[in-house]
Amino acid sequence: MSEFGRRAFLRGTGTFALLGLVSPKRLAQLAAAPTAAGQQGHFLTAHELATLRAVTDRFLPGPPEDDHPGALDAHCAEAIDLLLGAFTFVPPLIHAGGPFSGRAGGSHDDFADFVPLDAHAELGWRIRIEGSRGRKEREFGGRVVGLQQEYRDGLAHLDGRATALGAADFASLPAPLQVVVLSDQTDDAVQSFVGTALSHTIDAMYGPPEYGGNQGLVGWSQIGWQGDTQPRGFSVAQVTTSGGAATLTTQRTAARQAFDKFLVR
């Protein structure tokens, strides 16, 4: 990550190990039928979710602006909403299970069987997602602003910037003006929010679909990665034949371009 030189990226890295759902069936239903336009998310309001869709679409645009599927196709905003609402599900499953997804053999998606948390892990993740909220057991290290509040405040701030430009809200701004707002390096609030939201968008785009993003495997297909291959594995010829470097370069280039466009060096 150091090659990106980004001050905000590490704060959100790896957070998509968080998503929790009630059951594999429920997971499949949520992934196949994401929150429709105008409907409330699992944490975000309908308006906030619409704003987040617009944000992720600027980070990773799809057709017709780009030949490849983008964040809207992958349902990145919906995946982020699932992350923010992870503890609205019972049990609050956080870590995806294993060992096999069923995409390369087997009849069951073990990845969708999320692993229950112990008390210490749950406390830690609640602090990270929900914040300390003034609770003594959560403020042993000081006050913490959780991801939920970061998104709520950040999305509201974008709306405020849009109204100052004469629009009803951020989602109503023309795409070029949305880019201007998101890449405003003089606005610390924008930069802080973009640092979090951009890393989560990339996680959702290229992460396992069990976490809600990368729907239809559109993230993996555009970078030429077939995803997990167990229990089938690889043949001797596949293991001894080079071919992975181009895929990694494509993914790193796409991520670097987004960071170069929206964040301070």
Annotate 44-98 with DSSP letters as a single string. Answer: S-HHHHHHHHHHHHHHS--TTTSSS--HHHHTHHHHHHHHHTGGGSSS---B---
pLDDT digits (tens, 9 = 90+) for 62-98: 999 888 899 999 999 999 999 999 888 765 657 888 8
φ, ψ of residue 103 to 5 degrees: the values are -80, -15
pLDDT digits (tens, 9 = 90+) for 157-189: 999 999 999 999 999 999 999 999 999 999 999
Q: Where are the domains of the chain?
A: 2-262
Sequential pLDDT tens for the chain (265 residues): 433 333 343 344 444 433 333 344 444 444 444 555 678 888 999 999 999 999 999 999 999 988 889 999 999 999 999 999 988 876 565 788 889 888 888 888 888 888 888 999 999 999 999 999 889 989 998 998 999 999 999 999 999 999 999 999 999 999 999 999 999 999 999 999 999 999 999 999 999 999 899 999 999 888 888 888 888 887 788 777 765 545 555 655 666 778 788 876 6
Q: How many CB atoms lie within 10 A of CB 48?
A: 21
